[in-house]
Amino acid sequence: MPEECVDLNEVLERVQHDRELLLELFQIFLDDCPKKIEALKSAVKQADVQKIKDIAHSMKGASGNIAAKKINATFIIIEQMAKDNKIGEIRDKIGELDSQLAELRAYSKKLENDFKA
Amino acid sequence: MTASTETQSKDLIDNLRVGIYRITPGIKSHFLFVNPAFAEIFGLKLKDVFKKKTADFFESIRQWRLLNDKILRQGNIKNEEVISRKKDGTAIWCSLTVTAVKDKQGRVKWFDGLLEDISTHKQVERELLESKELFRLVFDNSAVAITVTDKYEKIIAWNPFAERLLEMDKEDLFNKSVKELYPPQEWRRIRSFRIRRKGFLTNIETKIIKKDGSFLEVNMSISVLKDVQGNVTGAIGILRDITSEKIAERKLKESENKTRVILDNSAAAITLTDKDERIVSWNRFTEQLLGMKKPDLYMKPVSSLYPPEEWKKIRAENIRKLGSKQHLETKAIKKNGQVIDIDLSINILKDTQNNIIGSVGIMQDITEYKKARQMLLEAKVAAEEANSAKSQFLANMSHEVRTPMNAIVGMIDMTLDTSLDAEQKDNLNTAKEAAENLLNLINDILDLSKVEAGKITLEEIDISVGNVIKSICKGLSVLARNKNLDLLWSVEDKVPYLVIGDPVRLRQIIINLVNNAIKFTSQGKVEVKVKALSVNHENCELLLSVTDTGIGISREKQATVFEVFTQADESITRRYGGTGLGLAISKRLVEMMGGRIGVESEINKGSTFFFTANFKIKQKNAPVLTPIELDDRKRLAPIALDISKTEVPVSSTNVLPSLSGPQLRVLLAEDNLINQKIAVKIIEKKGWLIKVVENGQQAVEIIDKEPFDVILMDIQMPVLDGFKATQVIRVQEKQNRKHIPIIAMTAHAMEGDEKKCLDAGMDGYVSKPIDRAKLFEIIDHLTKKGT
């Protein structure tokens, strides 16, 4: 069984079982994250380490708050790579985010249906 | 005598079947002549007789001497009965007729005798005597009354028991006409049996009249006596007293009747079956319930009362082996084919040898009951669904409902801080009070809904119960002071310093109880106490109580105060306000903590509300958070508080006003929308006010315009980051402002991050993702610190 991309118990607890808020947060994240990925990519192109660090840090916090574990782990690594100046590896790591984001989108959709049911 | 005569005499003597003999008289008498019959009687040969003396044939010589003397004296004896013995020793009865023959001189020459064996006669005679005696014994000693009547139906004989039974004596009975013994009706009935023709009649139950005129119940048998020609000569009657039997029988019948009445009037169908499961008996209700009559029931297989598949189920219960089965829910078929729901109980009947002889079945119609039960069940499910939907809805609505209310209260507050005239201020204060009341009600309803919707889970974090109580008492001391009440608290030494539990919920319960106590007390004091009921290495059970000297609650009302929407008195709602939900919520929360809540109260003396709660014990007594010491804030005057002391009065005069309840105003500086929303959710849920800005610069600007109790500061923000913003704020504070606690919120999870925050002038630190409990603990700690 593949690992769930979200620790639902953790995030539900954080939003105190406010399901609508949870779905709203997912939606905000799903809307925002692609923009941040684009920003990351352009920062990588310009080798702007500080900007990479900032974006990764911000997204680390946001993804952590919604308990999106896989995405969170990716941003933690990207932030660390930026700190370590490993820009070349960051590009590959960013590539993983697209599929993880798609997984989260599907998860959010499914959750929305589950809550309606 | 001629020769022929002599011959004939000899023949005669030889052939006679009686013994004829001639013996000499005297003691030494011997035989002169015997005939063959004599020898034969004794089993002897003729010649052997002559070898014997006469005395040898007697039991003793004395016996012979007496007889000899009697013959000599009388000259003869006739039919003298003596006992002798045969050769083989058998005793025989002999009848002797002897004549003494004399010579001319008158001397006795010899005795001529005739001997007859009368043993058989004797036997018969004795037997007859014995049987007569036996009959007499039976007759006299029978425990039944026996009367003998002659052919004229007059009593001629009776036994002693008859006298006893009839309480009559000889004069009463002798020659009494037997018909006078019976009541006329009975006598006519007896006559109608035509006993004379039949010859006998047995076991007639009738009545007889005793001497005193009272009746006696008897069982009677009559035998008619007839002579050889068949003429009736009389009758024998045998009477047995059956009065006591009759009484017993009547009682049995009465009891059977009673049972019958009970059975017939019971509203259950009761059927009795034989060992072959055929119906043999039933009560009236059976006919009513099943719409059946005798032909439908009698000797019918009991299985015919049930639908075949139900009968299979009943058989499967193995009741014959178990002996009984109570309250089996099954079905029965009425005569018209209608199937009804029944409750069936069966008991197997056994004889003394434990053989099954049948069974008793009791069936009750539960059709209506089942219908009602089904309806109730449906109604219950519907009600539960409705309630759950309501709770679900309210719980989900909480955010939407609370946010505008918070905004209203916040806006009123802010407007109140602007310059207003007296009337405007007064209006706004009224509006604020109303809005706060509404917010409280909404909070309570939402809280209760969440509890009911199962949406509340208890936190498990380190808490100091003493500190929780201290901070509550400090917060509420304003209210107490306004009413001139003493607010006291004490914590027993045994209570562990740190336990693991949910501080928010614990606070909620205690605040509710203390608030109530203050509300319902007009003079005296309110006391909060914590005691340890049990403490071991891992767990403790604490007893927390809040005692007031207020109006008290009547005994009847005490039972309902913990119910939803119940206050002790409806008039109280009008006079004291409140949502009436606080205790209901507290009760549910206490139950979630594995405790119970209760109240002891006396009208006009006061109330003690108490609750127990179970906590795990923190193993190392080290606080998790190390918040920075901060200066005493001006709005809270410093007073010495030490939870290790007991009975520390929080005199309300020592606490300055302006802190209107524990509601805090929180500033959040955070650029990420998701983190904003979550923080807002958490703070608003708490019932506090929150203002959001997107960067450090905005934070610096807004605290110049609005008051805040605490700032939650993200570190990495555009324009001005958290470190820099904090530095600016601290510099400004030194010039013209009070110290605002700043708590860093950051996803920096590296060692040293905390130190960096504190170095920058922040008071505390929480990491992202936000841990709600830790956040509240540190806010709680920082806003109460030093007071």
What phi-psi label fits residue B724: left (phi over 0), alpha (psi between -120 and 50 degrees) or beta? alpha
Extract the tokens encoding B169.
Answer: 């004596």
Chain A residue closest in CA terms to B454: A17
Sheet of B665-669, strands arranged across: B689-693, B665-669, B710-714, B742-746, B764-767
Question: What span, in angstroms and rounded, lies between the C-alpha atoms of B358 and B272?
Answer: 7
Dihedral of CA atoms A36, A39, A41, A43 in degrees, nearest 10, equals -130
Residues with Cβ < 8 Å from B610, sequence gap 6 or more? B543, B544, B545, B546, B597, B598, B599, B600
Question: What span, in angstroms and rounded, lies between the C-alpha atoms of A38 and A58?
Answer: 14
String of b and e for B144-153 (b: at least 16 CB within 10 Å)?
bbbbbbbeee
Q: Which alpha helices (H) appear in B417-498, and where do they start and end? A: 422-452, 465-482
Question: What span, in angstroms and rounded, lies between the C-alpha atoms of A36 and A18?
Answer: 26
Half-sphere exposure of A1 (CA within 13 A, CB side): 3
Whether ipTM > 0.90 holds is no
For residue A19, list chain B residues with Cβ-Cβ distance below 8 A.
396
What SS3 class is residue B25? coil
- Is the Cβ pair A17, B455 closer than 8 Å? yes
Cα-atom radius of gyration of chain A, to the nearest Å? 15
Helix axis angle, B696-705 relative to B722-736, nearest 10°?
Answer: 20
Question: What span, in angstroms and rounded, lies between the C-alpha atoms of B524 and B605?
Answer: 10
Distance from CA of B452 to the nearest CA of A (A): 13
User: By C-alpha distance, which of B732, B744, B668 is closest to B704?
Assistant: B732
CB-neighbour burial class of residue B723 (10 A; exposed 0-12, middle 13-18, buried 19+): buried
Half-sphere exposure of B265 (CA within 13 A, CB side): 6
Distance from CA of A14 to the nearest CA of B (A): 7
Distance from CA of B302 to the nearest CA of A (A): 52
Q: B605, B546 in Cβ contact below 8 A? A: no
For residue B398, list chain A residues with Cβ-Cβ distance below 8 A.
18
Distance from CA of A92 to the nearest CA of B (A): 23
User: By C-alpha distance, which of B687, B433, B481 is closest to B577?
Assistant: B433
For residue A28, list chain B residues with Cβ-Cβ distance below 8 A.
673-674, 677
Residue-wise pLDDT for B242-290, tens only, equals: 888 888 888 888 888 888 888 888 888 999 999 889 999 899 899 999 9
Using 50, 70 and 90 to split pLDDT, how confident is the model at B619?
A: low
What phi-psi label fits residue B454: left (phi over 0), alpha (psi between -120 and 50 degrees) or beta? left
Q: Give the per-residue pLDDT at B334.
A: 92
User: By C-alpha distance, which of B167, B171, B179 is closest to B206?
Assistant: B179
pLDDT of residue B634 exceeding 60: no
Residues with Cβ < 8 Å from B124, sequence gap 6 or more? none
For residue B450, list chain A residues with Cβ-Cβ distance below 8 A.
17
Q: Say whether the peptide bond before residue B769 is cis (omega within 30 degrees of 0).
A: yes
Question: What span, in angstroms and rounded, lies between the C-alpha atoms of B583 and B457?
Answer: 19
Chain B residue closest in CA terms to A50: B716
String of b and e for B425-456 (b: at least 16 CB within 10 Å)?
eeebeebbeebbeebbbbbbbbbbbbbbbebb
Q: B700, B730 in Cβ contact below 8 A? A: no
Residue-wise pLDDT for B360-402, tens only, equals: 999 999 988 888 888 999 888 888 888 777 766 766 666 667 6
Using 50, 70 and 90 to split pLDDT, how confident is the model at B496?
A: confident
Question: What span, in angstroms and rounded, lies between the C-alpha atoms of B510 and B609?
Answer: 10
| SS3 letters across B174-243 | CCCEHHHHCCHHHHHHHHCCCHHHHCEEEEEEEEEECCCCCEEEEEEEEEEEECCCCCEEEEEEEEEECH
Chain B residue closest in CA terms to A68: B769
Helix axis angle, A49-65 relative to A69-83, nearest 10°?
Answer: 160
Distance from CA of A54 to the nearest CA of B (A): 7
Range in B211-215, B521-525, B636-640 with the lowest mean pLDDT = B636-640
Using 50, 70 and 90 to split pLDDT, how confident is the model at B321?
A: confident
Chain centre to alpha carbon of residue B24: 107
Residue-wise pLDDT for B80-118, tens only, equals: 999 898 888 888 999 999 999 999 998 999 999 999 999
Q: What is the mean pLDDT of chain B?
A: 83
For residue B673, list chain A residues with Cβ-Cβ distance below 8 A.
28, 32, 62
Q: B219, B239 in Cβ contact below 8 A? A: yes
- Is the Cβ pair A10, B769 closer than 8 Å? yes
Using 50, 70 and 90 to split pLDDT, how confident is the model at B618?
A: low
For residue B681, list chain A residues with Cβ-Cβ distance below 8 A.
15-16, 18, 21
**Strand B539-548 relative to strand B606-617: parallel, antiparallel, unpaired?**
antiparallel
Report DSSP letters for B29-55, one per residue.
-BEEEE-HHHHHHHT--HHHHHHSBGG
User: By C-alpha distance, which of B725, B729, B731 is closest to B745?
Assistant: B725
Range in A30-39, B10-19, B408-417, B653-662 with the lowest mean pLDDT = B653-662
- Is the Cβ pair B677, A21 closer than 8 Å? yes
pLDDT of residue B659 exceeding 70: no
Residues with Cβ < 8 Å from B26, sequence gap 6 or more? B68
Using 50, 70 and 90 to split pLDDT, how confident is the model at B633?
A: very low
Q: What is the 3-state composition of chain B as percent helix, strand, coil, each rounded to the nearest 5?
A: 45, 25, 30
User: By C-alpha distance, which of B527, B579, B576 is closest to B551?
Assistant: B576
User: What is the DSSP-derived secondary structure letter of residue B751?
Assistant: T
pLDDT of residue B772 exceeding 70: yes
Q: Give the per-residue pLDDT at B645.
A: 35
Residues with Cβ < 8 Å from B662, sequence gap 6 or more? B475, B511
Q: Give the per-residue pLDDT at B626.
A: 27
Q: Give the per-residue pLDDT at B570.
A: 54
Chain A residue closest in CA terms to B772: A14
